[in-house]
Structure 1
Amino acid sequence: MARKSSWEWSRTAQTRKSMLQAAREVFGEHGFAEANVSEVVARAGSSVGSLYHHFGGKAELFLALYEHHQAAHEEASAASVAKAEQEGVDDPVELLIAGARAYLAGAWERRDLVRLFIEGDGPPGFELIRRTRGREWVRQNAVLLRAGGEPLDRFMVAVLTSIIEEAAREVAASDMEEDAQEVIEAAMTLIRRLDPLKVLEEG
């Protein structure tokens, strides 16, 4: 089988990008259940056959959009934590805050997707995927905070993660960037006031 040329790979990547952008618009306007594949491909300037070739169907397209959104969150947070570490920050809570700030900045930039995935409908099995992703997020935060395996440790990390998640919901619901920034600062203040390192050390 002949290998694809760089032009063909570029065209494939552009087709997927166009479909994901069109899906973002259509799902955002209608929700998953009421969204129509024909509207997605029309906006993408493509065909139904191409959509099924690249994604497999409406449900798979929705999940691909979700994974793309989550990957953007994770990449931004990881880059922010790495930058803080390079600048000499070694306090686990401040590293968590650095990652949370990047996450919440992304929640504002992609607020339509945050609202879609948190408050909208989805295909069968989507809630399980979201919960599984949430548990992995808690695990990653536990590693960042150097938390142990005691129940109090796990609960504290879950609480901190929930604060960030709820802040993302409020950020996405904000009408103005200034309002969103106030939510972000409030969440960071709350995390610091909880003094999680003290709790984890005493636990």
Structure 2
Amino acid sequence: MVRKSSWEWSRTAQTRKSMLQAAREVFSEHGFAEANVSEVVARAGSSVGSLYHHFGGKTELFLALYEDHQVAHEQASASSVAKAKKEGVADPVELLIAGARAYLAGAWERRDLVRLFIDGDGPPGFELIRRTRGREWVRQNAVLLGAGGEPLDRFTVAVLTSIIGEAAREVATSDSEDEAQEVIEAAVTLIHRLDPLRTLNHP
């Protein structure tokens, strides 16, 4: 078996990155259905063969873009929660809010992608992937909040997660960063008003 040199790995990573950036532009401008693979590779300075080699096709390219976007959200939120813990924050709701702030900041930074993925114009099966990811997000928030397994607990966590998700939509469609920040603060205020720790059963 021939091993790839570090230069070859670097070139492969750069090719993938260039294609994803080009795909981000083309999908954001045209949507999934109207996006053309030839336009993606032209912008990436690559070839159709190279795109199929790295991703397999337009659907896989779209899903890779979605996966990278979600990973960026998750890493930013996890890092923000870890930082808050290190600073001595122990209140689960405040930790949730720390993660939510990072998530919503990412929604503004990558607002073109948020708008793309909520638009409903994706490949077959994409909505199922989104819903599955959403359920996993609720589960992670339940762990962070130390929620029990009662129906009211599950519903409460789902509502809190929905608030953050809907806020992300509003942030992504805001006309300015100041307006986006107002939405973020409104979401935080709403979470505080719900006072979830009074509702949740802790095991």
Instruction: Give the TM-score normalised by structure 1.
Output: 0.99
**After the TM superposition, which residues 47-58 of structure 1 pair with which residues of structure 2 at under 5 Å, given as runs?**
47-58=47-58
Deviation at 1:120, TM superposition (A): 3.9
Deviations 1:106-149 (A, max 9, x none): 00000000000011400000000000000000000000000010
Partner of 1:166: 166
Q: CA deviation at 1:10?
A: 0.3
In structure 1, the gaps of 5 or more residues are none
Identify if the C-alpha distance between structure 1 residues 129 and 44 changes in structure 2 by more than 3 Å, giving closer, same or farther.
same
- Alpha-carbon spacing, 1:186–1:8, altered in 2? closer, same or farther (3 Å): same
- The answer (yes or no) to whether the contact 1:31–1:120 under 8 Å persists in 2 is no
Question: Which 4+ runs in 1 deviate beyond 2 A?
Answer: none
Equivalent-residue separation in structure 1 for 2:34 and 2:94 (angstroms): 42
Partner in structure 2 of residue 139 of structure 1: 139
Alpha-carbon distance in 1 for matches of 2:73, 2:120: 19
> Is the contact made by 2:81 and 2:98 (CA closer than 8 Å) also made in structure 1?
yes
Contact 2:28-2:113 within 8 A present in 1 as well: yes
Could you tell me how far apart the structure 1 residues matched to 2:62 and 2:79 are?
26
* 2:171 partner letter: V
**Residue of structure 2 in register with 1:29 after alignment:** 29
- Alpha-carbon distance between aligned partners in 1 of 2:84 and 2:202, rounded to the nearest angstrom: 26
Q: 1:141 to 1:71 in 2, by over 3 A?
A: same
Partner Cα separation in structure 1 for residue 64 and residue 93 of structure 2? 32
Report the counterpart of residue 125 of structure 2 in structure 1.
Answer: 125
CA–CA distance in structure 1, aligned partners of residues 72 and 28 of structure 2? 18
1:111 aligns with 2:111: yes
In the alignment, residue 118 of structure 1 is paired with which amino acid?
I
Give the letter for the 1:28 counterpart: S
Which letter maps to 2:66? Y
Distance 2:75 2:109 in 1: 14
Give the letter aligned to residue 56 of structure 1: G
Per-residue CA distance 1:150-186 (angstroms, 9 max, x = gap): 0000000000000000000000000100000000000
Query: Structure 1 residue 2: deviation in Å?
Result: 1.1
Q: Identity percentage over the alignment?
A: 88
TM-score (norm 2): 0.99
SS across alignment from 2:32: helix
CA displacement 1:61-117 (0-9 Å, x = unmatched): 000000000000000000000000000001000000000000000000000000000
Which residue of structure 2 lines up, in the alignment, with residue 178 of structure 1?
A: 178
Counterpart of 2:94 in structure 1 is 94
Q: How many angstroms apart in 1 are the aligned matches of 2:120 and 2:7?
A: 37
Task: Using the TM superposition, give the Cα deviation of residue 201 of structure 1 relative to its aligned residue in structure 2, in angstroms.
Answer: 3.9
Q: CA deviation at 1:202?
A: 9.1
- What is the CA deviation profile of residues 42-66 of structure 1, one whole-angstrom value per residue up to 9, with x for unaligned ones? 0000000000000000000000000
Aligned mates of 2:101, 2:184 — CA distance in 1: 7
Contact 2:33 2:122 in 1 (8 A): yes
Q: Extract unaligned runs of 5+ from structure 2.
A: none
Looking at structure 2, the residues matched to 128 and 14 of structure 1 have their Cα atoms a distance apart, in angstroms, of 30
The equivalences for 1:64-83 within 5 A come to: 64-83=64-83
